[in-house]
């Protein structure tokens, strides 16, 4: 069955790119509501923005949704991953600025806040999107693909010239709280040269060594080093889950990404939904429902080393 929160969860922080303080409140919502953002500071028209694949607009380095009135919210991927990974299907997210707070650069603070409040079951079945045929998008060496599977699986690989990153790959079955245990604490990452370039262009104004893992050659510049030896590829998987959550329901399929990013995952969803024969909506009974991300997750599953 579907789930929502028992009560409001408040998050306060700064935006990664804007550097501006923002207050965000995740609220319970009724069954079949889905996930919506509401800009509480927006006074130029409609304040409501659906967290959905067809509301994504091109943006550098993050996922951004926008409505017809021009109201937008960016860097939504980490809170979307937290909601999906905790099995929250319905929520209203009120925010007083255009960018979700970056917090520590991972989804762990969001997960901790959601799990601390607890979830309320709703007497409506979960409707999942079952992948029936393989769909793939390719851009140079980057690939994003969805394949049929009985549950959500994520298989990701990355390649960087920097010795501290190099080649990394990881595969996970996302059922039974795997996201919380394995991925939620992995932080966004970049190279020092990227930081310098972004700041020269007015981006990453809220970024620092505490909310991103910064690499330079064979060195990790962030204090305390890595939370996982393969933290970069884990974060890429975190991002992928957040972007896939914009499908409008849990996906039953295997996502394969190689050097893929936010834009490619959105292109993949658009390609999937453009092919009515490649997917179907299914109501999740007990056997399938037990395989969904978030089912059975506990607060004790949150990594405690960070």
Residue 278 vs residues 27, 136, 149, 253, 270: alpha-carbon distances, Å: 34, 11, 13, 11, 12
Q: Does 262 participate in catalysis according to the annotation?
A: yes
| Active-site annotation holder among 3, 17, 262, 305 | 262
**Unique residue bearing structure tokens 């009724």:** 30
- Give the residue numbers annotated as catalytic, written as ranges: 262
């Amino acid at each position: 069955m579907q789930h929502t929160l028992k009560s409001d969860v408040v998050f306060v922080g700064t935006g990664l790119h804007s550097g501006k303080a923002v207050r965000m409140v995740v609220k319970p919502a009724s069954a079949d509501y889905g996930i919506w953002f509401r800009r509480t500071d927006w006074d130029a028209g409609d304040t409501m923005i659906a967290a959905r694949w067809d509301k994504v607009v091109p943006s550098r380095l993050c996922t951004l949704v926008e409505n017809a009135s021009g109201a937008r919210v960016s860097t939504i991927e980490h809170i979307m991953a937290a909601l999906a990974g905790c099995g929250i299907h319905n929520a209203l997210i009120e925010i007083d600025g255009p960018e979700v707070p970056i917090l520590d650069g991972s989804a762990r603070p969001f997960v901790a806040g959601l799990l601390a409040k607890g979830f309320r079951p709703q007497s409506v079945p979960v409707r999942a999107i079952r992948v029936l045929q393989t769909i793939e998008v390719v851009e140079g060496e980057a690939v994003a693909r969805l394949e049929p599977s009985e549950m959500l699986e994520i298989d990701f690989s990355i390649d960087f010239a920097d010795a501290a990153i190099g080649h990394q790959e990881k595969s996970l079955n996302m059922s039974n709280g795997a996201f919380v245990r394995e991925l939620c604490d992995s932080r966004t990452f970049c190279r020092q040269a990227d930081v310098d370039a972004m700041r020269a262009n007015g981006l990453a104004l809220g970024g620092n060594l505490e909310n991103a893992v910064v690499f330079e050659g064979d060195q990790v510049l962030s204090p305390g080093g890595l939370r996982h030896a393969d933290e970069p590829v884990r974060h890429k998987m975190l991002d992928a889950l957040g972007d896939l959550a914009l499908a409008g329901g849990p996906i039953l399929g295997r996502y394969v990404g190689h050097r893929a990013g936010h834009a490619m995952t959105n292109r993949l969803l658009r390609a999937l939904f453009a092919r009515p024969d490649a997917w179907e909506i299914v109501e999740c009974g007990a056997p399938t429902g037990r395989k969904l991300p978030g089912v059975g997750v506990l607060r004790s599953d949150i990594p405690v080393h960070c």
